[in-house]
Amino acid sequence: MGKVKTLDDLRKLRDELKNQTSLRDKSEHSESLVQVKVAMATCCIASGSRETMNYLADELDKRNIEAVVTQTGCMGYCYAEPTVEITLPGKEPIVFGYVDEKKADEIIEKYIKGGELVEGIIPMNYQNIDIDKK
């Protein structure tokens, strides 16, 4: 940001600094927070993922749910865009497909707040390396 010339400039600067501080605080204990990753490749954006991501970020904040909302590239589930991966603290990540605002609301209310699985989960067709070591 350039020079502060008006009260509005000062407010914008304050908000930017507040957001940066909040992000830094969250990144220091991110494992204990809900992690939300929204696929944001070009096709995802064309399918509405930006609106989904904004909705999730706004609503999680409004509902006082501490979460880290980030964007990622294509997750390989292009047929089901917008796709969102959610990791609750201590749980395996789950990917949801076709996440519009209505589905995002349902995911927040049922899965994030209550741990209840909802329709739209994309089954994993792979195992990660850690599972094979057990």
List of residues contacting ligand FES (CB under 6 A):
39, 41, 43-44, 74-75, 77-78, 81, 83
How far is Cα 79 from Cα 82, in angstroms, rounded to an integer?
Answer: 9
Q: With respect to ligand FES, which residue has the nearer C-beta, 34 or 75?
A: 75
Minimum Å distance from CB 104 to ligand FES?
16
Minimum Å distance from CB 88 to ligand FES?
22
For ligand FES, which residue has the nearest CB? Answer: 74
Category of 12 on φ-ψ map: left (φ > 0), alpha (ψ -120 to 50) or beta: alpha
Minimum Å distance from CB 84 to ligand FES?
10
Torsion of CA 119, 122, 123, 126, to 10 degrees: -160
How far is Cα 9 from Cα 5, in angstroms, rounded to an integer?
Answer: 6
User: Which tokens hold the place of 9?
Assistant: 């400039």
DSSP secondary structure code for residue 30 in this structure: G
Minimum Å distance from CB 6 to ligand FES?
40
Q: With respect to ligand FES, which residue has the nearer C-beta, 65 or 80?
A: 80
